[in-house]
Structure 1
Amino acid sequence: MTKTNAPTMKDVAREAGVSLGTVSKVINGITVREEYKKKVEAAIASLHYEINTYARGLKTKKTGLVAVIIPNMLNPFFAAFTDYIEDALYKKGLKTMLCCSDGIPEKEIAYLNLTTQNKVDGIIALTYSDIGNFINPDIPIVVFDRFFENRNIPRVGSDNYNGSMMAIEKLLELGCRHPVYIRFHSIFPGESDKRKDGYLAACKKYHITPDFLDMEDCDNFIDMMKQFIDKHKKSDGSLSFDGVFCHTDYHGYLFKKLLQKEGYRVPEDVQLIGFDGIRKFGGAKEDLFVSSMCQPLPQLAAKCVEIITTEDRSMIPSLTLLPVTFEDGGTTQSLKKG
């Protein structure tokens, strides 16, 4: 090897004192004796040999690359989900190709075409667009939350229905008598729609009159929240509701700010629970923005990666749901003892 040329597999074999075939096996993940594996890995590190993943992909028909399609990285839930996905893929020896679609269907379709051209080993998608007809049937895919009526694509999500039931039960347990529900949602169906179903079921079970703001995503949702608050003001200025369950932590945080701006104390006057488990600064041990039904993001990410890397896809369930847990984020009162 000259100083001007990049090291080759032959150089690695010579440095390690093994055959070229042994080097090839180590690089392609084929089992060899441990002592040979260590020699090859040491030679690769010593020579700064860079594995040609493209060439290896042509031979193995695997690129080691998985596309992750999300709406954006600004939303802390999407960012945290992506971080856990990347970590789970890395532990499997896979790399991440990140695609931020901004919720634009044409952009998502362009990314899907790109994944086909780049021969990715799989796609993990968190999408709010109707792209079911554009997914390559030859590429393994798993979708978080969403489902497409025209395709039987494996889905992973949280148990939104029971999570919502738990949220209402927690508000009642903490003394609320009239919990309302706030939801702004995508026009495309998904597992998260079951949060409203859970709220209505809880109302029926505990003989509560349903009271909710349920609208499609829009630009003036803040104004609509304000109108909802004004509509529920009584003559003495107090509110007719004392508990709020919000479809997401984001909307819960904004609703809390509106309540406080109107002079209502949270949680003394109104208790509030969101859904997702979004944390300040993103860390797993950081504080929540609001009390929340927390989605198990590390486990959800691991399940997505497990499904995308499963060889026998005939055994993959069409839907996998994981349980959520309640965590106090300062917008609910502590349970009184005694």
Structure 2
Amino acid sequence: MAVSIKDVARQAGVAPSTVSRALGKGPVSEDVRRKVADAVIQTGYRPNLAARRLRSRQSMTVGLVVADIRNPFFTELARAVETAAYESGMRVLLCNTDEDPGREAMYLGLMAEERASGLILAPTRALDPARLAEFEIPVVLVDRGLPGARRDTVVLDNRAAAETLVDHLVATGRRRIAGLFGVTSATGDERRAGFEAAMARHGLAPRLRMAAPTPEAGHAALADLLSERPEAVVLSNGLFTGAMLRLCRERALAIPRDIAVCGFDDEAWASFVEPGITVIRQPLETFGREAMQMLLARLARPDLPHRTVTLSGELVVRGSTAR
């Protein structure tokens, strides 16, 4: 026999209307939402999403459009968003643009066709803010802002994080410091700006390159950058860090004796490889939860002022930058 919403309400000890609010976008306490979520699992209830979509003109689906699912940052971000969405009774439709404006446009169209309840988006540099103005659903920008777009945004303080890495390298005695930064997003620009500002503050000449955020482009740019014989290198994403480790192995460079290495994103292998990689750790779970909470708040109150939440990174020092 099919399980009804009344069965879930009986199991959770609440009214059926409370279950409806907990599984949708209605206001309920976190304690009640957890009770309803537990009752859904215990009863095996499956909501009739098609019927709900016809009633509400929404699919109870959150669109998540990321720039590169190979980048562990976006993999972990997707997991955090999915967890927060599940706890709110919503589903996640994940799309990957590979930093391609054409694919991005296609997926934005898909979200409109599917009548997604809302969208969490890591935009490409080429996205026209006017395109987002066409959306009748809430859009939250994550990881990177979009100049001219009046949208809720969750970002890292990229400039400060890059400055922290340079300051750390200088404190270990390095002076010839190089940097490699992504060329396809505002994130790379902000990290480059922080790198240059810190180098200028220390009276040092920056050595830097910009490249597409792929292992192949990173490897080529780093091979060129090493011709300037830096003592240390700052890498703006985990893909570049992996490319640097590969290049060091190919050239028999010892880290940190021959060159110090540090970068962004505390991937699992960063603490396993020898001698351990110094990184800026990003609060990935907070990224996902903040974005989802912003989206839910916007669904409940479309007239809320737009907000930007700027998160801080944490410097994790390991052997790759030892003196």
Fold agreement, TM-score > 0.5? yes
Aligned-partner Cα distance in 1 for 2:217–2:187: 25
By how many angstroms is 1:129 displaced? 5.2
By how many angstroms is 1:63 displaced? 3.4
Aligned-partner Cα distance in 1 for 2:206–2:127: 34
Aligned-partner Cα distance in 1 for 2:108–2:293: 21
Q: Using the aligned pairs only, state the percent identity.
A: 20
Aligned-partner Cα distance in 2 for 1:297–1:217: 19
Q: 2:120 — aligned with what? A: 124
Aligned-partner Cα distance in 1 for 2:142–2:40: 41
Secondary structure of the corresponding residue to residue 309 of structure 1: helix
Q: Which range moved further: 76-85 or 108-117?
A: 108-117
Secondary structure of the corresponding residue to residue 292 of structure 1: strand
Aligned-partner Cα distance in 1 for 2:301–2:39: 35
Q: 1:213 — aligned with what? A: 209
**Match of residue 158, structure 1, among 156, 159, 166:** 156
Q: 1:81 — aligned with what? A: 77
1:194 aligns with 2:181: no
Deviations 1:246-298 (A, max 9, x none): 122221231233234323210122111111222239xxxx7477321111111
Q: Which range moved further: 128-137 or 300-309?
A: 128-137
Deviations 1:151-201 (A, max 9, x none): 322221101011011001111122212211122421xx4144111111111
Secondary structure of the corresponding residue to residue 291 of structure 2: helix
Please show how residues 189-268 of structure 1 align to structure 2 within 5 Å. Answer: 189-215=185-211, 220-229=217-226, 231-232=227-228, 239=229, 241-268=230-257
1:296 aligns with 2:283: yes
Q: 1:113 — aligned with what? A: 109
Residue segments in structure 2 that go unaligned for 5+ positions in a row = none
What amino acid does structure 2 have at the position aligned with 1:130? A
Bigger Rg, structure 1 or 2:
1
For the Cα contact (< 8 Å) 2:212–2:218, is it kept in 1? no
Quote the RMSD (CA, aligned, Å): 3.4
Secondary structure of the corresponding residue to residue 263 of structure 1: coil
Q: Using structure 2 for the length normalisation, give the TM-score.
A: 0.80
Paired positions, count: 305
Aligned-partner Cα distance in 2 for 1:298–1:199: 26
By how many angstroms is 1:202 displaced? 0.8
1:183–1:71 Cα change, 3 Å: closer
Deviations 1:218-271 (A, max 9, x none): 865423321221x32xxxxxx3x2111112222123123323432321012211
Aligned-partner Cα distance in 1 for 2:39–2:262: 53
Q: Which range moved further: 140-149 or 161-170?
A: 140-149
Deviations 1:133-159 (A, max 9, x none): 433431101112333344322221101
**Match of residue 276, structure 1, among 260, 265, 268:** 265
Q: Using structure 1 for the length normalisation, give the TM-score.
A: 0.77
1:94–1:183 Cα change, 3 Å: same
For the Cα contact (< 8 Å) 1:67–1:98, is it kept in 2? yes
**Which has a greater percent of helix?**
2
For the Cα contact (< 8 Å) 2:84–2:288, is it kept in 1? yes
Aligned-partner Cα distance in 2 for 1:79–1:168: 27
Q: 1:26 — aligned with what? A: 19
Aligned-partner Cα distance in 1 for 2:46–2:69: 30
